[in-house]
Structure 1
Amino acid sequence: MSSYSDLKKTAQKEVASYHASEQGIIELTGEDSFNFLHNQSTNEIKSLKAGQGCNTVFVNSTARNLDLATVYVGKDKIILLVSPNRTQFLMEWLDRYLFPMDQVKLKNVSQENAVFYLYGEKSSALLEKWGLNPLKDQPFASHEMREINGISVRVALGTDLGLTGYTLILSSQQASNFQEMLSNAGVTSLSPEVWEELSLEQGRPLPDYELTEDYNPLEAGLWKAISFDKGCYIGQETIARLNTYQGVKQRLWGLELSQPVTPETPITVEGKKVGKLTRILETEEGVKGLGYIRTKAGGEGLTVQVGDATAKVVAVPFVTHL
């Protein structure tokens, strides 16, 4: 069995796949879909054309995190990839904001579709081998429908973890055939456990851990999923105020710990609480974690105490701090 270090290297430098079998997918149809989604989430949606996409965040009225989603605009529909444990919640939450006259239809199509992620610097070479356009030099979430050995696949640039690679969406009926095709091509398949480890190491915030209503998307480092130029949307006033007045009180950081501790353990500096540990992972390279730390306490390079462990604060690739 390959070690985590080997699998991580494959996902970064070679090519590895992950079948996100629990991925949530919501489909929006109707002529008001663009305006509706634009008004319910943080990023610029209305200006997107077919074949384009973006990340966006759903927040509540006080701009607290509900979920991070990826939008793909098709010719006659919008596809929304959401977290597995947020699909039904978001279906109900979005439905509450639909008015009788709105020409918008929401449908949970998670069961009808399968999502695979291709990670690694050689993933584009694999697409080229299959005769596909690897969408090089295109913006994140650019996508197009293609045939791969008779299987219709939506190929999108970028991945859920911020790693180099692609997101592939296809009929769930073809999932086993596609998995076999990946295996025959020599692509390493990642387990859910390895995916979770990679998500922590990349700093990808997850629901129930970093994406909770205790925090807002600026604190979670999701600046790239927010448009500060668009009009009103749920939570917009709070986010605009935080940005204008530099009011982000805490930020999500990576942690390199001296020993394992329990998630939710307070993070302290000189005996004063400055944050909280959200997740932890024991790896061959040491103990790593994610946690929120008060902005005034410092950031990258700071030494903190987490329970009985000493930890160094480090940057993680997925998040952005401005």
Structure 2
Amino acid sequence: MTLPTHEEHHDLGARFTEVNGMEVVGHYGDVGEELRRLQSLAAVLDFSFRSRLVVVGADRTRFLHSQCTNDINRLKPGQGCYTAVTNNKGRVQGDANVFVLPDEILLDAEPGQTAELTGRFQKFVVSDDIEVIDAAPHYGLLTVQGPRTDDVIGSLGLDAGLPAEPFAGIKIPHPVLGEIYLACHPRLALSGADFFVPVASLGAMLDKLIAATQAVGGGVAGWDSFEHARVEAGIPRFGVDMTETNLAPEAGIGSRAISYTKGCYVGQEILNRLRTFAEVSRRLCRLQLTAGVGSRPAQGAKLTKDGREAGWITSVGALPESGKLSALGYVRKEWQQPGTPLQIEGGGVATVVAIIGA
């Protein structure tokens, strides 16, 4: 599916790619510079390729609370959280960023997840007063990421600053752009903001954000640089670093996505039992790839230690300026100690840096 702002990005020199069948800006010609903007200044990215669902109805909060691993009941309008969706065996079926609005709950999820999450929710609807609506045709998503995000927001003239609490959001009625929803969302563990914007105003808002990020020395960035920064920051992505083959605690999202004190939800019994009585045999780890890595290892490349199977690689992020490679991958508990070297299938060494979420 083509981005609503395809022509605008084309005019900026964008090189396009696809993620889960959705058109994405891969880069604008200089991935290294775009990475610098993300990590040191501020960059604007068009994330309208991501899935956006709205849940409405009198039972929306109670229903989502029963479907998600995090505590949705505690959230008030203007608040939000990150959550996972698991099956009855505690395995990850999806994840989402949750934003509670006065009359609806907005879910921002991985591209291509609209049908899967909608089907999952509808499977459990009995007599609940809820409706799941695809919001993507109506609202796009632009995000600003980087340490100068606050400066960017302050220069937009929106009569509103960035909320301080992660996932907190405000509605901004704009006389020209329409109703905008601004949320505090540091997607790379630095500083960040999401703008949910009416599709008709997406191009105009993109222009404003480009000008504002350029004013602090930043500018546009694409998916390639974002992925490099994500891997370096140790942030797992559903469909790549965690799938339905993974238990939620294996992916290191427990502290961000799982409430162990909330009421009943799908998968709760298994996850609570794991936390109390057991230990997962593998964990997602940050890895540094060195010593003869001649090419970018493929997703799924096996890791071994002294000839024994030790895990596998899930994501790789190249750092253009240094030529080094960072990665995420699952490592068995025997070899999770930081500094442990592991052999990569096809050549090279992956050194354990840290356990994600530890």
Give the AA of the match of 1:278: T
Structure 2 residue 250 is the aligned partner of structure 1 residue 219: yes
Give the AA of the match of 1:320: G
User: Hey, what does 2:139 align to over in structure 1?
Assistant: 113
Say which SS state the counterpart of residue 277 (structure 1) adopts.
strand
- Taking the aligned partners of 2:287 and 2:342, their CA distance within structure 1 comes to 9
Equivalent residue runs for 1:195-274 within 5 Å: 195-223=226-254, 224-258=256-290, 259=293, 260=295, 261-274=297-310
- Taking the aligned partners of 1:251 and 1:26, their CA distance within structure 2 comes to 30
Q: 1:82 aligned to 87, 99, 109, which one?
A: 109
Q: CA deviation at 1:3?
A: 4.3
Identity %: 26
Query: 1:15-45: per-residue Cα shift (whole Å, max 9, x none)?
Result: 1111112110111111111010000010000
**Cα gap change, 1:149 to 1:291, in 2 (>3 Å):** farther
**Is the 1:293–1:299 Cα contact (8 Å) retained in structure 2?**
no
Q: 1:56 aligned to 70, 75, 83, which one?
A: 83
Give the AA of the match of 1:171: P
User: Hey, what does 2:203 align to over in structure 1?
Assistant: 176
**Is the 2:91–2:247 Cα contact (8 Å) retained in structure 1?**
yes
**Cα gap change, 1:15 to 1:243, in 2 (>3 Å):** same
Give the AA of the match of 1:247: E
Say which SS state the counterpart of residue 62 (structure 1) adopts.
coil
User: Hey, what does 1:276 align to over in structure 2?
Assistant: 312
- Taking the aligned partners of 1:212 and 1:130, their CA distance within structure 2 comes to 39
Q: CA deviation at 1:147?
A: 4.3
Q: CA deviation at 1:7?
A: 2.2
Give the AA of the match of 1:8: L
**Is the 1:123–1:165 Cα contact (8 Å) retained in structure 2?**
yes
- Taking the aligned partners of 1:162 and 1:192, their CA distance within structure 2 comes to 17
Equivalent residue runs for 1:145-164 within 5 Å: 145-147=171-173, 150-151=176-177, 152-164=179-191
Q: CA deviation at 1:2?
A: 6.8
Query: 1:243-284: per-residue Cα shift (whole Å, max 9, x none)?
Result: 112412211112111213222121111111111111223333
Say which SS state the counterpart of residue 210 (structure 1) adopts.
coil
Query: 1:81-111: per-residue Cα shift (whole Å, max 9, x none)?
Result: 1111211111111100001x21111111112
Equivalent residue runs for 1:311-322 within 5 Å: 311-315=350-354, 319-321=356-358
Structure 1 alignment gaps of length 5 or more: none
Say which SS state the counterpart of residue 326 (structure 2) adopts.
strand
- Taking the aligned partners of 1:107 and 1:299, their CA distance within structure 2 comes to 45
- Taking the aligned partners of 1:119 and 1:271, their CA distance within structure 2 comes to 42
- Taking the aligned partners of 1:184 and 1:126, their CA distance within structure 2 comes to 9
Structure 2 residue 189 is the aligned partner of structure 1 residue 189: no
Q: 1:288 aligned to 309, 321, 326, which one?
A: 326
- Taking the aligned partners of 1:58 and 1:159, their CA distance within structure 2 comes to 21
- Taking the aligned partners of 1:73 and 1:242, their CA distance within structure 2 comes to 30
Say which SS state the counterpart of residue 248 (structure 2) adopts.
coil
Aligned length: 317
Say which SS state the counterpart of residue 264 (structure 2) adopts.
coil
Give the AA of the match of 1:183: I
Question: Structure 1 length as normaliser, TM-score?
Answer: 0.92
Q: CA deviation at 1:148?
A: 5.6
Q: Which moved more, 1:244-253 or 1:199-208?
A: 199-208
User: Hey, what does 2:349 align to over in structure 1?
Assistant: 310
Give the AA of the match of 1:64: R
Question: Structure 2 length as normaliser, TM-score?
Answer: 0.84
Say which SS state the counterpart of residue 219 (structure 1) adopts.
helix
Give the AA of the match of 1:302: T
Give the AA of the match of 1:203: G
- Taking the aligned partners of 2:230 and 2:175, their CA distance within structure 1 comes to 31
**Cα gap change, 1:190 to 1:231, in 2 (>3 Å):** same
Q: CA deviation at 1:125?
A: 1.2
Equivalent residue runs for 1:29-108 within 5 Å: 29-99=56-126, 101-108=127-134
- Taking the aligned partners of 2:37 and 2:93, their CA distance within structure 1 comes to 32
**Is the 2:228–2:318 Cα contact (8 Å) retained in structure 1?**
no
- Taking the aligned partners of 2:137 and 2:108, their CA distance within structure 1 comes to 13
